[in-house]
Amino acid sequence: MSVYRAVQVSGSGDFALVERELTDPLPGRVRLRVEACGVCHSDSLAAVGALRPDPSVPIVPGHEVVGVIDALGAGVTSWQVGDRVGVGFLSGPCHTCDSCRRGDFVNCAAQPTTGTTTDGGYAEVAYARASGLVRIPDGLSSLDAAPLLCAGLTVFKALQQTGARPGELVAVQGIGGLGHLGLQYARSLGYRVAAIARGTEKAPLAAELGAEHYIDSLATDPAQALQALGGAAAIITTAANGAAMGPLVGGLAPRGRLIIVGAGNEPVPVDPVAMIFGTRTVTGSLTGSSIENEDNLRFAVRQEIRSMNEVMPLSEAPKAFAHMMSGRARFRVVLDTRG
């Protein structure tokens, strides 16, 4: 095969199914035969040309990539042809910048972001830095693994930063692509879990996924409801709604943490009195490193955590993206690139 199919997008949002020439991987990189790629809200960055010097130059979106290595670039010694691997949002640290030298690989200053500054997985073939590869464990299909590489890791890492003890109350705001995974991870980590969502429609699902308490934000003040439960040691906000996030600080227990993972453009209004009296914290959390992603996948396998997916073929990637952006997906969309 000298060419492969890929779906690219320009900064004007125009998707196109194209053929690209198959090339050998550059030094320090590998070539993958892609088997699955999740469709994530952050793929919208590619569709508007964000983070790229020239948005008019097309790029292949997709940063929840699972595939099998079929070629190694010069200098790659820790991976073999035939290994099944994943690539998440962070494409691999440089190991030389100040952040990397201090072990903070997530904040590497020279790390490409898959599908936004370097080509991603809406394709039959992808190329990736060896430093960013994630080993996919046996017992996890490629379609199941793909959403966990970003959505799963995001909530897993956020929950690890809460400082909450097993049995303490942890709330997840928003029962969508991130939230439905957050409930499963929080339950499996031993927390008493509360789900916060608009209306009662998702209450049965939230209970099934691990929530002991359900708070309808249309019917009650979520902060007051959390305080009636004793206050939350942590709240993970997954719905990108700044106006809804800010008041949740009042639902935290003393020294509680509000951790933002739902990326939106709206400011988050925070009451300084609620922050000061109770020594509460508001912080963000950005995914994790490749080895932390392997921890995440092994944990998901052992705890039987799975994303609820809608699977579509590569040729329907534009439709899959539009479906995801509409908010009607239940709850992740995954491209099956194997035809």
Reported as a single tens digit per residue, the pLDDT across 195-206 is 999 999 999 999
Q: How far apart are CA 182 and CA 188, in angstroms?
A: 10
Q: Does any domain span residue 236?
A: yes
User: pTM score, two decimals?
Assistant: 0.96
Structural domain ending residue among the three candidates 284, 300, 317: 284
Q: Are residues 142 and 50 in the same domain?
A: yes
- Spatial contact of 222 and 199, defined as CB atoms under 8 Å apart: no
Three-state DSSP at 330 gives coil
**Amino acid making up residue 179:** G
Q: Are residues 253 and 328 in the same domain?
A: no
Question: What's the pLDDT score for residue 44?
Answer: 95
Q: Are residues 279 and 294 in the same domain?
A: no
Q: Does any domain span residue 312?
A: yes
Q: Are residues 7 and 145 in the same domain?
A: yes
In the numeric block, which tokens belong to residue 227? 């305080």
Q: Are residues 12 and 137 in the same domain?
A: yes
Q: Are residues 86 and 108 in the same domain?
A: yes
Q: Which of 212, 222, 219, 208 is nearest to 174 (CA)?
A: 222
Question: What's the pLDDT score for residue 51?
Answer: 87
Question: What's the pLDDT score for residue 14?
Answer: 95
Q: Are residues 23 and 128 in the same domain?
A: yes
Percent of residues, the chain, with pLDDT higher than 70: 100
DSSP class per residue in 60-110: ---SEEEEEEEEE-TT--S--TT-EEEE-SB----S-SHHHHTT-GGG-TT
Q: Does any domain span residue 157?
A: no
What is the domain extent for residue 56? 3-149+288-336
Three-state DSSP at 253 gives strand
Q: How far apart are CA 213 and CA 170, in angstroms?
A: 10
**Amino acid making up residue 323:** H
Q: Does any domain span residue 70?
A: yes
Q: Are residues 26 and 48 in the same domain?
A: yes
Question: What's the pLDDT score for residue 264?
Answer: 81
Q: Which of 303, 304, 180, 299 is nearest to 238 (CA)?
A: 180
Question: What's the pLDDT score for residue 126?
Answer: 98
Question: What's the pLDDT score for residue 88?
Answer: 98
Q: Are residues 167 and 276 in the same domain?
A: yes
Q: Does any domain span residue 155?
A: no
Which residue has tokens 């809200």? 41
- Spatial contact of 284 and 259, defined as CB atoms under 8 Å apart: yes
DSSP class per residue in 51-73: T-S-TTS-B---SEEEEEEEEE-
Structural domain ending residue among the three candidates 269, 284, 299: 284
Q: Does any domain span residue 19?
A: yes
Plot region of 205 (φ>0 → left; ψ -120 to 50 → alpha; else → beta): alpha
Structural domain ending residue among the three candidates 241, 258, 284: 284
Q: Are residues 139 and 44 in the same domain?
A: yes
Question: What's the pLDDT score for residue 96?
Answer: 96
Q: What are phi and psi of 132, to 5 degrees?
A: -105, 5
Question: What's the pLDDT score for residue 317?
Answer: 98
Question: What's the pLDDT score for residue 182?
Answer: 98
Question: What's the pLDDT score for residue 339?
Answer: 74
Q: Look up the CATH number of the domain holding residue 189.
A: 3.40.50.720
Which residue has tokens 């892609």? 34
Q: Are residues 218 and 317 in the same domain?
A: no
Which one-letter DSSP state was computed for residue 152?
I
What domain count does the chain have?
Answer: 2
Q: Does any domain span residue 20?
A: yes
With a cut of 70, list the residues of the chain below it in pLDDT. none
Three-state DSSP at 282 gives strand
Q: Which of 162, 294, 173 is nearest to 233 (CA)?
A: 162
Q: Are residues 235 and 299 in the same domain?
A: no
Q: Look up the CATH number of the domain holding residue 307.
A: 3.90.180.10
Question: What's the pLDDT score for residue 294?
Answer: 98
